[in-house]
Structure 1
Amino acid sequence: MYETSSTHSSGISLKTQLYGLVFFLALMSFFSSLIMSVDHTRNYLNEQMGIHAQDAATSLGLSISPYLGEENIVIAETMMAAIFDSGYYASMVLVSPENKNLLSMNHPSTIEGVPQWFIDLFPLSPPTRNSEVSSGWTIAGTLHVTSHPGVSYLQLWNYSLNALSGLLFTLVASLLVAYIIIKAVLRPLYIVTEQANAITKKQFIYNKRTPITKELRLVTSAINSMVKNVQKTFISMTDHTEILTKEAYKDNLSQMGNRRAFENQLHSHFDERRITQASIVLITLPSLQNINLELGYKDGDEYILKAVKIIKLWLSNIQGTQFYRIAGGCFIVTFPVSLDLCIKNIENAQKKLNAFNSNRYSNGFAKLVMCSYNKKDNTGDLLSRLDTLSTQHKALVSSADAFNEYKAPALGLQEWKMLINDIISSGDIAFSFQPVVLKDKPLPLYSELFTHFTHNNESINNGQFFAMAERLDLTSALDKKLIMAFTNLKKHYQDQRFAINLSDQSLHDEEFLSWLENYIPLNKETFENIVFEINESSLLNDIDSAKEVIALLKQHDIKVCIERFGSNLSSFKYLRGLNVDYVKLDGSYTRDLISNPDNNYFIHAVNQICQGLGITVIACHIENEETFEKILDLSIGAYQGKYLQSPHKITINHKKNNSQSHTFNLELAYDLT
């Protein structure tokens, strides 16, 4: 099955266990202290009632002894009643030697001001004390005195309330102190946990605080050492990979791709963007040789850098544009669009280059020619065609007529705008899929979706369509349409994981991201198994903005993939701060894997770096068995390409009919052993 969408920690936290233990012990201590204290007071009051009854019996017996005769018994009764009416006694009984009641007085057993449950819980047993009463030298009777428990119960109740208040205050104060102490003790552990979580998010945080607790100090030191070693390894590997990349694919002076990079990536537009036609520009510096001979190579380098600045400034407006320096004064620029969509950019660049014409540049500052090309054109033939164009035009190219194969666009801007808006508002969008296969597992990691548009029953070229949408600032609106269409599709395939692409414009559009943040919770089930693929060029345009987007997606357990990884020949250190799950290598490294051994080292290095960060590397555009076997030798985590399965159209009816054909069969078992 698919890997789980998120990893949730299970079990009870140490903080909860410690707080629970302290709270339990505090409560046990509180209740035991309260019960023992009340019980001790109860026993004391029972003893006090016994002493009180005995004193009363003794003193009263002595007082009434002279009045026990028949003629004075009323005086004895009066004296007895005076003491009894004080309310501290439950009963007073004077019994004759013949066991006959001479005098008897009793109070009701009602107790006021004390709850009955308390009386039942802590019963008092008022003792009865006796005193013999003499009349002369004879025993006239026995006086039995029993104390009334009412006052004792009230005293016991009041004492219990005071004890409860005091012990409760002590309990709260103790728990507060325990909370502060435990929090202080556990703070270093929280920091260690944050360090560990940060590592899973490809971030390296060093804890400079030294805990007081010996054990935690050792743990902190160990984690810091681990972070330092992982970071050191990451930096070492990325530095090594950057050096390898620069040596193999980058021009040192211009920081553009070199001829090898150009040959690798010439046809990348066709596979990555599903287009049928691209455009290429050759820019030459005809005065470079004279500058080097007359003024020196330093001035020649300045000449080159000045041209590079203009070229990048005026030709980088189209997403996916690639720049190369293939020789001393020769530059190549490729566009993932047809000529009609980039002609204005080229004309503007030519005007800016012509503005530097002067006596300093005897043969002119720069010369520019361009043509279209398709996937069948090889590098040698294409360069020959451009060289022929450049040779034919001896003068500086400054007008549109000099551009070879330039054709008027089939649709004007307003027509394109209407077409795109029609599709956004009410157009139908079809999808096809291509699985990304995990190594040694029969089920795919996910399936990448590709969109298809039609207008008047005719297919629209995706590359041209998205290029015009970007030019007209409609990409974000189009992405909303695609996501909503995907949501409707996903309802029929809840158990499948799909990947959809997020455009450059949408990635950095606050309004779109706000819409997405509100849209995801409303379609939570749809977004449970989903991957957003972000183009590396789009991400590098604004790393900080991309981090915010990735953080937003991660809040909803959405996985993120960087596609066309390595196409910009830039530093890979940016991966350290990005919480991404997958990187999909640029197809140029896979397509040229057999003939270009440098690609092996590059892919191997990237794979090692990503494995250290917990990122799965995906090799795409695998189109033959030889390439696939080579990729397997490099231990890449996942694969994609026509050799494994070509893109196939998705039809919802297919799902309903339970068809077994591979129009939509994501459970293909690939033998990867």
Structure 2
Amino acid sequence: MTLFRQIYSLLFGLFLLVVASLGYVQFTETQNFLTKQMESDLNNTSNSLGIMLIPDLEAGDIVGAETLINVIFEGGYYQQVKLTWLVDGKQQAWENPVNIQGVPQWFIDLDFFKTIKKESTITSGWIQLARLEITAHPGFGYHELWRTMTNAIMVFSVLFLIAIVCARLGLTWILRPLHEIAEHAKEIAQRKFGPDMKIPKTMELKSVVLAFNSMSEQLKQIFNSLDEEVGELRKKNLIDQVSGLPNRQYMMGRLNSWLSEPKSGALVMAKFDWLEEVHSKYGYQVRDETIKLLSEKMKEHLDAITVSVIARIAAYEFAFLITSAEHEKTSKYLQTLIRTINQEMSKAGCKPNENFSIGLAERIGQMSVSDILAQTDNALQKAIKEDKVFHWFETTEKQLFTREQWREHLSNAITNRQFKFKWQPVHLNDGDSISQRELYCQLEIGDKTIHAGQFMPYVELLSLGALLDKCLIETLNEQKLLERNYEPIAINLTFHSLSDPKFHEWLNSFLRSSNLSERICFDIPETGVYSDPDSCEALCTIIRDNGAHFGIDHFGRQFGSMSYLQTLRPSYVKLDQSFAYYDESEHSSELCRALINVARGLDIQVIVTGIEEKPQLERFVPLKTSAYMGYIHPPVDVGPN
């Protein structure tokens, strides 16, 4: 029972006790008063009637005596009058039945008034003439007692209702600070640090509120310090100090992650020998300033073309990772890059289209890091050797389909549910227990099985992400995959779904109608959180309110504050695969440890991804992560039930 109800019940009981006591006192006092009043009236009537009857009794006038008694008796205040003539023993009696109007019979049957009689002897001198006996009628007493009690009950009822309302309003107002403390405590337990609570006037609660505000502020500072530590470690280990761009270490990690995902794009490597010319002419300070300005312009111009990662990997070498683009967009990106370089060269007093070389290789099919690096470096060396501005690595591997063919095949597959599923278990660190199963899909076109890495880039390019996600979720439900295991199934949402209001509405409707929504998890890419935080927050609210779960995929990949964890409050985060080869001896170990501490500090489950062997997993044991996944437990086909 809540404190409010306990106090409310106590006040309710005390009020009833007071009302009952007052009612009892009122009842007994009224009863005694009416009894005494009837006794007094009976005495007065008996005395006066006895005196008035003396002449008639002396004269033996029976009719006169009867007339006199009738006058008094007809008033209805007496139940019975008996007159006994002592001369001859004759007895006369007058009676009124006990029939009281306006008083319920059950109240009369309670017999609150005992029979009141008055017996007297009428004398004349020393001669006894008659004996008079009068019995009071209880009607007056019952009528007055009933009227008094009904009025009292009505008054008490009104007062009771007023007291209930006043007590409720008063307690609500008095206990409001306590309710705020409880809500604030829940938010702190969920690692949500809002504004300080107002200081209440109640002395007992004032110290509690001050303590809570202090604790909340300290916890907030701890989280902010961890967030700042992550930022400083990123700046120290992953950022080139001169250009402000990511360094080689970050680029290699992103390459690993990018190639493990179903993406398209290209890798570009550029060597700017003209920067050496700037160095020799103006010194290292001007060179460094030129590098900084060049980096800013490249980011400004290239980000307008497509999403990419620009890194300074050596003194005069830069790498450009185009994470999602088809051939035409990549070509436009390359042209913009060359134009930007020439503009900055002209500003630095160098001749355009000289002393720099660019090599480019597209990602086609399944590729490893060494494959794409070798192709890009080969293209760069060829450009240098042939003294060309750029060289595009030519591959003998052809695309499976044209863009329009992909559109036709994907639209048909979504409409006709032509996808096959695999799932990969996420194992808890403390044993063989499975935390969740991540779902992957494959596409069958003719006699070919096409992996997600081949068709997902075109899903994004053709803006079919929301339709695909809707199709997969519906198929998941139709095939009753949620009923096969108690472990939740994790679904990777596409970027298109994150910002599509219609998909949000559909997902809300689907989860509301599902009886197993708690067995569905949604993986949201960290890139999407940074690119459209408002849409992601709206989507996460829908997922949470319907009992499903969500997590952040590729956690730690992006540069930026971790404060979104407080806003979104995910159930888990999946570390980016660039941290899979965590090693205590490397500088990145500090960053990895700090990222894990930020998540654990908010009571968020941390899942390590990209684990391929046991020794690799054992390195994460001291960091107290929650679970892991990777080819140490590879994906398996989801066969028919």
Aligned to 2:40: 51
1:474-525 deviation line (CA, Å, top 9, x unaligned): 21111111111122333532633221122222122111111111111111x2
> Is contact 1:30–1:167 with CA below 8 Å preserved after alignment?
yes
Aligned to 1:501: 492
2:411 to 421, 429, 447: 421
Q: Equivalent residues in 2 for 1:35-434 (5 A)?
A: 35-68=24-57, 71-96=60-85, 102-120=91-109, 123-252=112-241, 254-273=243-262, 279-285=266-272, 287-291=274-278, 296-297=286-287, 298-316=289-307, 321-335=308-322, 342-356=326-340, 357=342, 359-360=346-347, 361-364=350-353, 368-373=358-363, 374-375=367-368, 377=370, 381-382=374-375, 384-392=377-385, 394-397=387-390, 402=392, 404-405=394-395, 409-434=399-424
Range with greater deviation from structure 2 (549-558 or 362-371):
362-371
2:635 to 647, 651, 663: 647
Q: Structure 2: any 5+ residue segments left out of the alignment?
A: none
1:492 to 467, 483, 492: 483
> Is contact 1:433–1:448 with CA below 8 Å preserved after alignment?
yes
1:125 corresponds to which letter in structure 2?
K
Shift of residue 630 of structure 1?
Answer: 0.8
What SS does the corresponding residue of 1:553 show, helix, strand or coil? helix
1:490 corresponds to which letter in structure 2?
L
> Is contact 2:606–2:625 with CA below 8 Å preserved after alignment?
yes
Shift of residue 300 of structure 1?
Answer: 4.0
1:650, 1:324 → 2: CA distance?
40
1:349 corresponds to which letter in structure 2?
Y
1:246-275 deviation line (CA, Å, top 9, x unaligned): 2111234555421011122322123344x7
> Is contact 2:556–2:576 with CA below 8 Å preserved after alignment?
yes
> Is contact 2:359–2:378 with CA below 8 Å preserved after alignment?
no
Aligned to 1:671: none
> Is contact 1:430–1:452 with CA below 8 Å preserved after alignment?
yes
Aligned residues: 627
1:23, 1:536 → 2: CA distance?
55
Shift of residue 452 of structure 1?
Answer: 2.0
Q: TM-score, normalised by structure 2?
A: 0.90
1:377-433 deviation line (CA, Å, top 9, x unaligned): 268635532422432563444xxx945338764323332222222122112332222
> Is contact 2:439–2:491 with CA below 8 Å preserved after alignment?
yes
What SS does the corresponding residue of 1:267 show, helix, strand or coil? helix
RMSD: 2.8
2:437 to 424, 447, 450: 447
Identity of aligned residues (%): 26
Aligned to 1:658: none
What SS does the corresponding residue of 2:517 show, helix, strand or coil? coil
What SS does the corresponding residue of 1:334 show, helix, strand or coil? strand
2:596 to 600, 607, 632: 607
Aligned to 1:534: 524
> Is contact 1:287–1:364 with CA below 8 Å preserved after alignment?
no
Q: Equivalent residues in 2 for 1:597-636 (5 A)?
A: 597-636=586-625
2:420, 2:111 → 1: CA distance?
81
> Is contact 1:89–1:145 with CA below 8 Å preserved after alignment?
yes
Range with greater deviation from structure 2 (629-638 or 460-469):
460-469
What SS does the corresponding residue of 2:218 show, helix, strand or coil? helix
> Is contact 1:304–1:329 with CA below 8 Å preserved after alignment?
no
Whose relative contact order is higher, 1 or 2, with alpha carbons under 8 Å and at least 6 apart? 1
1:124, 1:490 → 2: CA distance?
81
2:378, 2:110 → 1: CA distance?
106
Change (3 A) 1:99 1:412: farther
Shift of residue 544 of structure 1?
Answer: 2.7
What SS does the corresponding residue of 1:610 show, helix, strand or coil? helix
Change (3 A) 1:606 1:595: closer
1:279-330 deviation line (CA, Å, top 9, x unaligned): 32224556444455556233442122111211222121xxxx5443323453
1:28, 1:457 → 2: CA distance?
86
Shift of residue 650 of structure 1?
Answer: 1.8
1:530-557 deviation line (CA, Å, top 9, x unaligned): 2221111111112233222222222122
1:29-66 deviation line (CA, Å, top 9, x unaligned): 33343343223322322222222222222222222222
1:556, 1:425 → 2: CA distance?
27
> Is contact 2:311–2:320 with CA below 8 Å preserved after alignment?
yes
What SS does the corresponding residue of 1:486 show, helix, strand or coil? helix
Aligned to 1:514: 505
Aligned to 1:14: 3
What SS does the corresponding residue of 1:369 show, helix, strand or coil? strand
Change (3 A) 1:494 1:618: closer
Shift of residue 595 of structure 1?
Answer: 8.1
> Is contact 2:50–2:132 with CA below 8 Å preserved after alignment?
yes
* 2:449 equivalent to 1:465: no
1:65, 1:329 → 2: CA distance?
145
2:422 corresponds to which letter in structure 1?
S
1:455, 1:52 → 2: CA distance?
113
1:105-129 deviation line (CA, Å, top 9, x unaligned): 2222122212334434573334222
Q: TM-score, normalised by structure 1?
A: 0.86
